[in-house]
Structure 1
Amino acid sequence: MVNVDAAVFSQSQRMGIGIVIRNHLGVVLAAKRRYVNQEVNPELAEAMAMRCALEFAEEAGFQSIVVASDCETLVTKVKNVAMDRSQIGAITFDIKRGASKFVSCLFTNINRSCNEAAHVLARSSEHDCGSCWFNVVPDVIRTIICNEQSLIE
């Protein structure tokens, strides 16, 4: 599962991206956060974050993924076979093209409460030009991950 979220920081005119990749048991395999020096609307920020998540998953060598976002409109646009002619159309095209590089890539809309780790990473990225973790849980989301793991067990 690739959880992805974006945050918009109006004051600093930046947006943040948070990505958490887990296996089927909920164990964190990789995570990433970064900011982009650009203020955008929330849907565009979510689309840019999803495109970044696909690139990160591909670079990390994952072949079969499920991308989970709490932005229902974006997930709908990405799953639609018709060309997206909205403001984010070019990015949804990039996302669809990126998805085709995987053996399997599915998109799902999840409740915001189920996307908390990615959300917190995105919110914590305002002053972090880029951090990646592999097989380690970032400190900023450790409590969230531990709480989620206790619910699974």
Structure 2
Amino acid sequence: MRNDTVEALIAFEGIRRTKARYQYLLDTKQWDEWASLFTEDFRWETQGGVVVEGREKFVEMTRTYIDKVSTVHQVHAPVLDLLSPTTASGIWPMFDYVELEEGAAQGYGYYHETYRLEGSEWKLTTQFLSRIRMDNVEALRAGTEVVFSPLDVMIAATRALPGLA
């Protein structure tokens, strides 16, 4: 499909809106509305090989992990491709800050996503989170740089959640 048509630009704006709502609803912990951004058959995966199948399971995992902590998620200029009139893919540079009981971390990487048009709304169908770097915030504040292994952090965090061990 061509990405330089009016139809493609309209689709891209719908996808950007979905992604903006994703970040806002996630950080404000509006779980029911956040869940509405995913298809029922949504699939989430990390570079550590952790896979979560299904919208309900993914939302519950995320809620369990960050419901009671402060988070900030930001995405930046995406590369979007319209694959068909009802499907698309995107790569979003991302930054997140997560303040857990064990300490705060800030991470950098990319969301690799696919989308499907359901009715008039673009919904996420898959998301692969690739991390490039994660920093220990307390160490940065103290003037000592400590970089977490993104792979180790993601594997440890997701394996600690119920049903993923």
TM-score, normalised to structure 2, is 0.26
Q: Which structure dedicates a bigger proportion of its chain to strand?
A: 2
TM-score, normalised to structure 1, is 0.27
Larger gyration radius, structure 1 or structure 2: 2
Q: Which structure dedicates a bigger proportion of its chain to helix?
A: 1
